[in-house]
C-alpha cells in the first residue's frame, strides 16, 4: 500500500468511527429528552447538526494537516465529549441551570484551538527548544491565582483567575507547559541524567547540578499548589514529573524515590494542614460525617449503588443529591443512570485513549516526541485515576475534572490542545514508518523474430 493510500484508508476509518460516535451521542440525547417528555426534543436535530459540523471540521483539519494520524484518537474524544454534554444537560434538567449551553460553546472553542494547535505544529517549529521559557510560564500560570487582585477562591481552593467577566483555571494549561519543559530539558540532558555517580542511600543518581532545574521547577510547582490547597493537581504534576524522568533515563530509582517522597510529603501534609487531614479522614470513614464534610462522597456511593448493573436509565437518577455533580462527581451520575455496564464502557474509552497515547509515545519519530506523548498521556491517565478513584473511594477525593466529560471550559480547552499534540506526533510517526511508493518494474520488450534467429 502506498503512503497516499495508507493515509486515505486511515481517514476513512476515522470518518466511519466518528459517524458511529455521533449516532451513540444522539441516541443518548434522545433518550434523555424522552425521559423528560413523551416527544423527541425539538432541538435534537440542531444539536446533532452542530456536533456533526464540529466533527467534520476536526476531521477535515486532520485530513489536510495530519493525514497519517491515528484514526482512533478523534472518535474516542468526540464520543467522550458528546457524552459529557449529554450528562451535563441531564444535570441541567434536574437543577434548572444552563451549563450545557456554556459547555457546548466551550466545545466549539476547543475544536478551534485543536485546529489552531495543529496548524502551529505543522509549521515545523519544535516548541520544546524553548523549554526554559515553558518552565517559567508553568510557574507563572500556577502562581496567577495567588495574586491578590485577579485570584479567586472557590470551595476553599484558590485555583481561579478572574479578569472582568472572564474566569478560568490557569493550572489546566500549566500541565501542558510543564510537559513541554520537562520533555525539552530531559531530551537535552538525557545522557547526563542516565549516568549515576552520586549515591543517595541504596540508589545511585546523576550529579545534582543536572537534576537541579527539574527539581526546582517541580518543587516550586508543588509548593504553589499546596498553597492553593489543590492536592489533586499536586499529585498529577508530581506523577508526570516522575514518569518522564523514568522514560528519559530508564532508571527505576526515580519512581521509587518519587513515591517515597510523595508518601513522606503526604504524611507531613496530613499533620500540617487541616484540609488535608479532613480529606483523609473523610476518605477512611465518610459515614462519621455523612451530613457534613462526608456528604459528597457518601452520596456518590449511594448513587453508584443505586445504579447497580444496568442503571436507573438516562434522566431517571437523582443528580441533585450529589454536590458539584457536573464537575467533581459526574462519574457518579454516569454510574447511577447507566449502571456498572455504562460506567465501565466510559472507562474503557479512556483505557483505549491511554493505550493509543502510549503506543504513539513508543513509535514516535524522535526522543523528544516520545517524552511529550508519554507526558500528555500520563496526564489523562492520572486525571481519570484520581477522580474515578476518589468517587469509588480507592483514593481520597480531590477536585479534578474527568477529561472531556466534566463541565469546565479551562479543562476542555486544555485537553483539546493536548489532543492536537498527540494527533500530530502520531502523524509524524506513521508518516515516517509508512512504506514508500515502489516504482513499477520496467517492461521488457518481447523478443523479435530476428532476435530469436
Whether the CA torsion 197, 202, 203, 207 is positive or negative: it is: negative
What is the DSSP pairing of strand 166-168 with strand 203-205? unpaired
CA distance 343 to 428: 34
| DSSP notation for 274-341 | HHHHHHHHHHH-GGGGTTTTTHHHHHHHHHHHHHTTT-S-TT-S-GGGSTTTTTTTHHHHHHHHHHHH
**In which residue are the cell numbers 532545574 written?**
213
Q: How far, in Å, CA of 330 to CA of 338, rounded?
A: 12
Other beta carbons less than 10 A from residue 48's beta carbon: 17
What region, left, alpha or beta, does residue 241 occupy, with left being phi > 0 and alpha being psi -120 to 50 degrees? alpha
Q: Is the dihedral of CA 401, 405, 408, 409 positive or negative?
A: positive
Helix (H) or strand (E) holding 215: helix 208-227
Q: Which residue has the cell 467522550?
A: 80
Task: Please give the pLDDT value at position 453.
Answer: 43
Cα(4)–Cα(6) distance, integer angstroms? 5
Task: Give the per-residue pLDDT at 36.
Answer: 84
Is the CB of residue 429 less than 8 Å from the CB of residue 369?
A: yes
- d(Cα 330, Cα 382) in Å, to the nearest integer? 17
Identify the DSSP state of 168: E
- At residue 30, the 3 state secondary structure works out as helix
Q: Which three cell numbers stand for residue 63?
A: 485530513
pTM here is: 0.89
Q: Please list, residue by residue across 306-325, b when 16 or more beta carbons sit within 10 angstroms of its beta carbon and e when fewer do.
A: bbeeebbebbebbbebbeeb
Beta carbons of 196 and 254 less than 8 angstroms apart = no
Q: Hey, what's the cell of 177?
A: 507547559
Using an 8 Å Cβ cutoff, are 415 and 110 in contact?
yes
CB 336 within 8 A of CB 306: yes
Which residue is it, cell 467534520? 56
Going by their DSSP bridges, the two strands 151-154 and 166-168 should be labelled as: unpaired
Question: What pLDDT shows up at residue 154?
Answer: 66
* pLDDT, block means (10 residues), the chain with 453 residues: 68 93 94 85 81 94 93 96 94 90 93 94 77 85 79 68 77 88 83 64 62 63 64 79 84 74 73 76 84 87 92 91 89 95 96 96 90 94 92 84 91 94 93 61 56 44
Eight-class DSSP state of 448: P
3-state SS assignment for residue 140 = helix
> What is the H or E stretch that residue 418 is in?
helix 409-433
Q: Provide the phi-psi class of 313: left if phi over 0, else alpha when psi is between -120 and 50, else beta.
A: left
Distance CA 159, CA 145 (A): 5
Q: How far apart are CA 13 and CA 391, in angstroms?
A: 35
Using alpha carbons only, give the angle 407, 109, 114 rounded to the nearest 5 degrees.
105
What would the grid cell of residue 337 be? Answer: 443512570
Alpha helices, DSSP H, located in 37-98 = 44-65, 73-95
Query: What span, in angstroms and rounded, lies between the C-alpha atoms of 302 and 297?
Result: 9
pLDDT at 191: 67
Where do the domains of the chain lie?
125-434
Name the 3-class secondary structure at 224. Answer: helix
**Phi-psi domain of 155 (left: phi exceeds 0; alpha: psi -120 through 50; beta: other):** left
CA separation, residue 153 to residues 89, 145, 228, 322 (Å): 26, 8, 9, 21
Q: Quick one: the chain helix, strand, coil %, rounded to 5? A: 70, 5, 25
Distance of CA 263 to the CA centre of its chain: 25
In 3D, which of 346, 306, 336 has the Cα closest to residue 24?
Answer: 346
pLDDT at position 349: 97
Non-local CB neighbours of 411 within 8 Å, separated by 6+ positions: 169, 172, 401, 403
281: its cell numbers: 479522614
Amino acid at each position: 500500500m502506498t503512503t497516499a493510500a495508507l493515509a486515505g484508508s486511515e481517514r476513512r476509518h476515522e470518518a466511519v468511527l466518528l459517524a458511529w460516535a455521533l449516532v451513540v451521542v444522539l441516541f443518548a440525547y434522545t433518550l434523555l429528552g424522552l425521559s423528560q417528555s413523551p416527544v423527541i426534543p425539538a432541538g435534537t436535530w440542531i444539536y446533532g447538526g452542530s456536533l456533526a459540523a464540529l466533527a467534520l471540521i476536526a476531521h477535515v483539519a486532520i485530513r489536510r494537516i495530519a493525514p497519517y494520524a491515528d484514526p482512533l484518537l478523534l472518535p474516542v474524544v468526540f464520543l467522550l465529549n458528546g457524552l459529557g454534554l449529554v450528562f451535563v444537560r441531564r444535570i441541567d434538567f434536574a437543577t434548572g441551570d444552563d451549563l450545557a449551553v456554556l459547555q457546548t460553546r466551550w466545545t466549539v472553542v476547543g475544536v478551534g484551538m485543536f485546529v489552531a494547535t495543529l496548524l502551529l505544529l505543522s509549521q515545523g517549529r519544535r516548541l520544546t527548544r524553548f523549554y526554559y521559557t515553558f518552565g517559567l510560564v508553568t510557574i507563572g500560570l500556577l502562581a496567577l491565582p495567588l495574586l491578590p487582585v485577579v485570584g479567586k477562591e472557590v470551595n476553599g481552593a484558590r485555583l481561579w483567575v478572574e479578569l472582568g467577566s472572564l474566569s478560568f483555571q490557569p493550572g489546566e494549561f500549566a500541565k501542558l507547559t510543564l510537559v513541554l519543559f520537562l520533555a525539552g530539558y530531559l531530551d537535552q540532558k538525557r545522557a547526563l541524567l542516565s549516568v549515576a555517580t552520586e549515591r543517595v542511600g541504596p540508589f545511585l543518581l546523576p550529579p545534582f547540578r543536572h537534576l537541579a532545574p527539574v527539581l526546582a521547577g517541580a518543587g516550586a510547582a508543588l509548593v504553589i499548589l499546596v498553597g492553593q490547597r489543590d492536592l489533586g493537581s499536586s499529585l498529577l504534576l508530581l506523577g508526570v514529573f516522575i514518569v518522564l524522568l523514568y522514560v528519559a533515563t530508564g532508571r527505576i530509582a526515580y519512581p521509587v524515590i518519587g513515591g517515597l517522597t510523595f508518601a513522606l510529603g503526604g504524611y507531613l501534609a496530613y499533620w500540617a494542614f487541616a484540609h488535608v487531614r479532613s480529606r483523609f479522614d473523610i476518605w477512611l470513614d465518610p459515614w462519621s460525617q455523612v451530613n457534613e464534610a462526608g456528604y459528597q462522597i457518601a452520596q456518590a456511593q449511594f448513587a453508584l449503588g443505586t445504579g447497580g448493573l444496568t442503571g436507573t436509565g438516562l434522566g431517571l437518577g437523582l443528580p441533585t443529591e450529589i454536590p458539584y455533580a457536573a464537575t467533581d462527581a459526574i462519574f457518579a451520575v454516569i454510574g447511577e443512570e447507566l449502571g456498572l455496564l455504562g460506567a465501565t464502557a466510559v472507562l474503557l474509552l479512556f483505557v483505549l485513549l491511554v493505550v493509543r497515547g502510549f503506543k504513539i509515545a513508543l513509535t514516535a519519530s524522535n526522543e523528544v516526541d516520545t517524552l511529550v506523548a508519554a507526558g500528555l498521556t500520563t496526564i489523562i491517565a492520572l486525571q481519570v485515576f484520581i477522580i474515578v478513584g476518589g468517587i469509588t473511594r480507592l483514593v481520597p477525593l480531590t477536585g479534578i475534572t474527568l477529561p472531556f466529560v466534566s463541565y469546565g471550559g479551562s479543562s476542555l480547552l486544555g485537553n483539546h490542545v493536548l489532543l492536537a499534540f498527540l494527533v500530530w506526533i502520531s502523524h509524524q510517526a506513521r508518516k515516517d514508518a509508512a512504506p514508500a511508493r515502489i516504482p513499477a518494474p520496467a517492461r521488457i520488450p518481447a523478443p523479435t523474430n530476428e532476435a530469436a534467429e
